[in-house]
Amino acid sequence: MANIFSPRIDAEELANRIRAETGSRRFSATELPKPAAYVNFPRIYEYPPRIENKASYTVADFLCLHDGDFLRNAYFTILDREADENGFQYHLSALRSGRCSRVEILGRLRYSPEGKQRGIKIAGLWPRLAIQTAFRIPLLGYLLSLASFLYLLPANLRKWRHFEALFHQRLQEHRVQFNEMARRTEDSLFSATEELSRLRTETADIRLQTQAKADAAELAVLKSQLGDGLSRKADAEPITNEVSEMWKQIIDHKHSIIDQQRRLGILLEESRRRLAKPNLQDLAETMAEEEDHLLDALYVSFEDHFRPPRKDIKKRLEIHLPIVREAQAGTAAAPILDIGCGRGEWLELLAENGLIAKGIDSNRVMIERCRQFQKKDLDVIEAEVVTYLRGLKPNSIGAITGFSFIEHLPFRKLVTIFDEALRVLKPGGVVILASADPEGEDRSAGYFHPSLRNSLPPPIILYLAEKRGFVRIKMEQQNGPAKHPAIPSESRKNHTSYTTKDNSAINPPQGQSIATESGYSVIAYKA
């Protein structure tokens, strides 16, 4: 590059040369031009000034320096060492505050024990030091200072006028220098901006070309995959037709099974009517028992259609885990019993949290479904709840749970379940019964379940729990505000809390949820 600092080059020629030089170069993405790199800003000095070593010095040799530079050179020259931190800061503070002059500092260093040992000669120091010392004498120093000021006033005025003129001269020179630097910097920035724009354009073009190549390759792959897919579709068409035909057959079989169930129900009813009670009573009872299980599959199908996915139900039931843990249930000595376990979501959740539990249900198909679709080996059996509870030993269960179960029971059986639960629970054991709220804003498919028998507002269950001997009774409302009347005043003393928990609603994939949209849980403990 040409010497841009030559005074013989005008501004226009300089700009043209810079543009030509910049345009001839090709910068990489990591090599962008640095606009102000060539500007040489003026420097006063790069290193602190240093008084040269001589046999003798004059006061003027030191007075040409100021502040820290003066102190460092005084220490080097007079004491032949670096200034210690404490001494340097002390003298610097005295010098900057005006408490001490440079002559006095020179005298202190020269006539200190260390300075006397060195014996450096400083011509003219003693008279000036004496005068400076005289200035500090009360009254005399004031008169001397006044006389000195008046004597030196004309010389000081001349120095001030000289300094003022010199200052403005230097200011003008620096203004011209900085204007020139600013112009050069602007030219450099302009050139760099143009080059950067060009680089951005080239980068964008390269990126577009690369993207076009990638799109072309991807398009080729997609065409190949499409061709493979069409060939596979042609090959799979016979299989698809066969599957469709099998599906039609399955539908036909389903309808046939439903019709057979209907005919079997009519046959059972007619057989029971015609059987002679004295002679075939056992057979009639067996047929009646089998008739009770005739609709088990239909109930399971009903719940599979309306009930939310397993993971959603497990998430809702997580709020009951702290309760059973607090009651120290779920151990081998205090297992958990889930009545009406259904598909086993609660049992699976307990097993995942290391808690021991057992489930019972009277629906044979539900029990089989619970065993079939579980990843874990769940302990489930087919049993009638009252019969099973009566077969348990007293004080043998840590917790009893029942979700969307009690509303399907006759009232007498519900009372019996409370009595048997109190008997088999360990002291401090807990019973958790959840049900749909008939007075809630949302009445889901669970409230209109085909096997629903009772409408059970929360105060009824709270009342039954208290009257059958439970303590520390509380109710937790889920998924919506409570709409039922206040709890009877005589029962409030045993109800430790009446709270509302807002659980986010979970929408099942089809139909309405059979789980309670506006539900409640009654929690009661054995003393």
What is the secondary structure of 278-298 as a DSSP string?
A: TTSHHHHHHHHHHHHTTTHHH
Question: pLDDT for 458-484, tens place per residue?
Answer: 888 888 888 888 999 988 876 544 444
Taking the C-alpha atoms of residue 249 and residue 242, their distance in angstroms, rounded to an integer, is 11
Lowest mean per-residue pLDDT among 27-41, 301-315, 347-361? 27-41
Q: Cβ of 435: how many Cβ atoms within 10 Å?
A: 26
One-letter amino acid for residue 352 of the chain:
E
* 328 conformational bin, left if phi > 0, alpha if psi -120 to 50, beta if neither: left
Assigned domain for 257 exists: no
Structure tokens at 369: 């479904």
Question: pLDDT for 68-116, tens place per residue?
Answer: 899 999 998 888 888 899 989 999 998 898 888 898 899 888 889 998 8
Residues 6+ apart with CB under 8 A from 165: none
Residues 186, 302, single domain; the answer is no
One-letter amino acid for residue 331 of the chain:
T
Taking the C-alpha atoms of residue 398 and residue 396, their distance in angstroms, rounded to an integer, is 7
Which of 194, 219, 247 lies at the terminal end of a domain, its last residue? Answer: 194
Assigned domain for 229 exists: no
Structure tokens at 512: 């309405």
pLDDT of residue 66: 86
Determine the angle formed by the axes of helices 281-292 and 140-274, rounding to 10 degrees.
Answer: 150
Assigned domain for 426 exists: yes
Lowest mean per-residue pLDDT among 117-126, 139-148, 159-168? 139-148
What does DSSP assign to residue 485? P
Assigned domain for 233 exists: no
Assigned domain for 394 exists: yes
Which of 163, 194, 225 lies at the terminal end of a domain, its last residue? Answer: 194
- Please give the share of the chain, as a percent, with pLDDT higher than 90: 15
- Mean pLDDT, the chain, rounded, equals 75
pLDDT of residue 393: 92
Task: Find the CATH number of the domain harbouring 399.
Answer: 3.40.50.150
Which of 147, 162, 194 lies at the terminal end of a domain, its last residue? Answer: 194
Assigned domain for 5 exists: no
Q: Which residue range is the domain that position 454 belongs to?
A: 296-525
What is the secondary structure of 150-204 as a DSSP string?
A: HHHHHHHHHHHHHHHHHHHHHHHHHHHHHHHHHHHHHHHHHHHHHHHHHHHHHHH
Assigned domain for 477 exists: yes
Assigned domain for 462 exists: yes
Question: pLDDT for 268-296, tens place per residue?
Answer: 766 666 665 545 555 555 555 555 555 65
Question: pLDDT for 491-509, tens place per residue?
Answer: 444 444 433 333 333 333 3
* Nearest Cα to Cα of residue 480 among 421, 440, 452, 523: 440
Q: In the chain, how many domains are there?
A: 2
Backbone angles phi, psi at 427, to 5 degrees: -55, 130
Q: What is the separation of C-alpha 439 from the centre of its chain, rounded to a whole number of angstroms? A: 39
161/439: higher pLDDT? 161
* Nearest Cα to Cα of residue 511 among 445, 450, 441: 445
- Please give the share of the chain, as a percent, with pLDDT higher than 70: 68
Residues 6+ apart with CB under 8 A from 54: 61
Residues 178, 312, single domain; the answer is no
> What is residue 507's three-state secondary structure?
coil
Residues 354, 499, single domain; the answer is yes
Lowest mean per-residue pLDDT among 134-143, 161-170, 240-249, 511-520? 511-520
Is residue 314 very low, low, confident or very high in pLDDT (cuts 50, 70, 90)?
A: confident
